[in-house]
């Protein structure tokens, strides 16, 4: 399968969650549970351990209110993503710039999908540098609107 650089190929509306928690670990667990339901994910426990191991190495809070927990696992068939919109800012995320997290983009790819994994991380990062887009996502009224805003200029 050729990897598409479009977010809509790795994210569907069912994997966008509005989160009410203000705790990092609770948010990550909710996203893991939703992502584990995706057909691309074959082993929920491996996903759980991989995400939390990655966070122990270094926080994935990249700044600007964004967290991008990501992992490559042998049980993943194709890159897949789940997104959390945090209604309550997550202050214990330990972001690089110290700002609370409002958006979490959880990405999982196969062990042998290094290039695809990096392209997806780069795509999410570059898209979210746009202040207007980021603010529109944070202000989205629900999951459907969030998904539409995120994927409307999916190039």
DSSP label at 41? B
Annotated catalytic residue 117: no
Phi, psi of 93 (to 5 degrees): -80, -20
Selecting among 53, 70, 114, 117, the annotated active-site residue is 70
Count of helices and strands (H, E) across the chain = 5, 6
Nearest to 27 by CA among 123, 78, 91, 110: 91
Greatest Cα-to-Cα distance within the chain, rounded to the nearest angstrom: 39
| Residues taking part in catalysis | 70
């Amino acid at each position: 399968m050729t990897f598409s650089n479009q977010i809509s190929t790795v994210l569907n509306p069912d994997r966008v969650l509005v989160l009410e928690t203000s705790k990092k670990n609770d948010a990550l667990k909710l996203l893991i549970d939703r992502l584990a339901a995706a057909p691309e994910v074959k082993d929920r426990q491996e996903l759980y351990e991989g995400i939390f191991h990655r966070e122990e190495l270094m926080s994935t809070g990249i700044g600007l209110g964004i967290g991008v927990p990501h992992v490559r696992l042998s049980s993943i068939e194709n890159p897949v993503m789940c997104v959390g919109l945090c209604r309550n800012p997550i202050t214990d995320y330990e972001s690089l710039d110290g700002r609370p997290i409002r958006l979490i983009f959880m990405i999982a790819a196969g062990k042998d999908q290094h290039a695809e994994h990096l392209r997806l991380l780069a795509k999410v990062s570059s898209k979210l540098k746009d202040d207007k887009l980021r603010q529109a996502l944070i202000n989205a009224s629900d999951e459907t609107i969030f998904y539409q805003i995120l994927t409307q200029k999916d190039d």
